[in-house]
Amino acid sequence: MHDWIADNLRACGGTYQTCICAVPFLARKQGLVTVTCDPKNLEHILKVRFDNYPKGPTWQAVFHDLLGQGIFNSDGDTWLFQRKTAALEFTTRTLRQAMARWVSRAIKDRFCPILKTAQLEGKPVDLQDLLLRLTFDNICGLAFGKDPQTLSPGLPENGFASAFDRATEATLQRFIFPEFVWRFKKWLRLGMEVSLSRSLKHVDDYMSDVISTRKLELMSQQNGGGGAHHDDLLSRFMKKRESYSDQFLQQVALNFILAGRDTSSVALSWFFWLVILNPRVEERILVELCSILTETRGGDTAKWVEEPLVFDEVDRLVYLKAALSETLRLYPSVPEDSKHVVADDVLPDGTFVPAGSSITYSIYSAGRMEFVWGGDCLEFKPERWLSADGGRFVARDQFQFVAFNAGPRICLGKDLAYLQMKSIAAAVLLRHVLVLPPGHKAEQKMSLTLFMKDGLKVNVLPRDLAPIVDKIGNNDGGA
């Protein structure tokens, strides 16, 4: 579907309009959808006329039961208040340090041992599933300081994780039907609405227990008692203002889990798939990794894999960041997004959009337009993100590269996402060679997030770093 939309946009110069409503008197407004990927239009929608293009009533109605009035499902003053509060926390170095601790612990104690076992047993693993579990554990730890341990030996089922997954899937089902249909099914408790109701009850009970326990811990600490120190987002919100309701705190946590879990894991899945298909890119990533680790940890390669990379080492991985950005350009975790049109408007390319209609901006297509990225726009080419000398990462205009959204709603966790993805990618590539089993294809799943339909099955083989180290030594000698 996303390629079909991209083909249409390519043929129409970056914007087209279509009607998806068969009711004549609704056709001009509610049934009219404008689809665009033109950077000038995206800047207009996401920044210049930001107030005219909110999430809108349809989106909010669909997600209300799961996300309430949380930051990713709200507009206006409700959104602005949460954004400002969260922005203060995301600018603090301590939050980045907290993410680094959660990621490093999960990599060392769970992720790498599971891959090592798969290597020794010679059995393929679904890397997408492992990454989903890893990022879910990490984001739960960062959001409310509790580790659900879904990435553990045997890959156990977790009640909260399963309920959250079912609730998300059932919520997305609502987009298939007109609002009156799913509301009718909700009223009669039919189909996926039954699953949604039960799952939301499980999620609510779990989060209520977390919040009440955390409040008691913080109260004990304030009264001079002991207890563990928590630096998660939930605790930070509680410390800032004690008058937040439990419902608000729960919505804060769930909104960040939804945003931070699937996006990074899906991006990493496509990254590993592209790296497997492009050995040249894989080698250059390894050269960069080995060069840095030779400086920071010495020449004994065995010591390189004893511990995950630390802050300073991760920050120096310029080419790896370029490869991850190139992955997100071609396979953005959220391929399409939509906005509601409040008042009649004209886009920069001359397209008229009436009040009450909707606009879909195709993030997937935005990264695949020749008039933006050049004739090689469909190639996986990390070098396009580097300076002429190859030593510096060069960010692109945010309205050309919309994988992290843009304008006032640009992703607050962008730096944390890069930190997590670079750490995980480095850990895997240093230790293992990934090989696709014969016949396995990476196909896109129809979802709001760009999952691989059948996962990413890989065989895990040991990595020999000696040829890379020798190459670095020979290059140094030549210099």
Residues 179 and 271 placed together within one structural domain of the fold: yes
**Percentage of the chain modeled with pLDDT above 70:** 95
The mean pLDDT value of the chain amounts to 89
pLDDT at 226 over 90: no
Q: For residues 362 and 8, give the distance between their C-alpha atoms in angstroms, rounded to a whole number.
A: 11
Instruction: Report which DSSP code applies to 401.
Output: -
Domain around 3: 1-65+336-366
The pLDDT of residue 239:
76
- The pLDDT of residue 97: 85
Q: Which residue ranges make up the annotated binding site for heme?
A: 411
Same domain, 253 and 321: yes
Model's pTM, two decimal places?
Answer: 0.92
391 class by beta-carbon count within 10 Å (0-12 exposed, 13-18 middle, 19+ buried): exposed
Tens of pLDDT along 76-135?
Answer: 888 888 888 888 777 777 788 888 889 999 999 999 999 999 999 999 999 999 999 999
Helix 127-144, helix 192-222: angle, nearest 10 = 40
pLDDT at position 245 is 82
Helix (H, G, I), strand (E, B) or coil at 191: coil
Instruction: Name the pLDDT band for 435 (thresholds 50, 70, 90).
Output: very high
Using CA atoms, how far apart are residues 202 and 148, in angstroms rounded to an integer?
14
Cα(96)–Cα(93) distance, integer angstroms: 5
Instruction: Encode pLDDT of 369-408 as tens digits.
Output: 999 999 999 999 999 999 998 889 999 999 999 999 999 9
| Banded pLDDT at 479 (limits 50, 70, 90) | very low
Cβ atoms 238, 400 nearer than 8 A: no
pLDDT band at 279 (very low <50, low <70, confident <90, very high): very high
Helix (H) or strand (E) holding 115: helix 112-121
pLDDT of amino acid 94: 79
Q: Residue 47 to residues 13, 51, 54, 78, 414: CA-CA distances in angstroms?
A: 22, 8, 11, 18, 18
Q: Both 219 and 340 in a single domain?
A: no
3-state secondary structure of 110: helix
Tell whether 349 and 381 lie within a shared domain.
no
Asked if 191 and 289 sit in the same domain, the reply is yes
Contact 237, 215 (CB under 8 A): no
Beta 32-36 vs 358-362: how paired, if at all? parallel
What integer pLDDT is reported at residue 476 of this predicted model?
62
State the Rg of the chain over Cα. 23
Annotated binding site: 411
Instruction: Count the domains in the chain.
Output: 2
**Residue pLDDT, tens place only, 234-272:** 888 887 665 678 888 888 888 888 888 889 999 999 999
Last residue of a domain, one of 323, 348, 366: 366
What is the three-class DSSP state of 32? strand
Same domain as 379, residue 461: yes
pLDDT confidence band for 144 (50 / 70 / 90) = confident
Q: Which two tokens stand for residue 381?
A: 């080419």
pLDDT in tens, 24-47: 444 445 578 999 999 999 999 999
Diameter over CA atoms, the chain: 75
Predicted confidence at residue 24, as pLDDT, reads 45
Shared domain check, 377 and 346: no
Model confidence pLDDT, tens digit, residues 317-367: 999 999 999 999 999 999 999 999 999 999 999 999 999 999 999 999 999
Whether residue 255 is found in the same domain as residue 184: yes
What is the DSSP secondary structure assignment for residue 340, as one 8-state letter?
Answer: E
Mark whether 286 and 420 lie in a shared domain. yes
CATH number, residue 306: 1.10.630.10
Q: Mark whether 316 and 359 lie in a shared domain.
A: no
Q: Is the same domain home to 353 and 256?
A: no
Same domain, 23 and 129: no
Q: What is the DSSP string of 204-232?
A: HHHHHHHHHHHHHHHHHHHTT-------S
- Residue 225 pLDDT greater than 60, yes or no: yes
Domain-terminating residue out of 309, 344, 366: 366
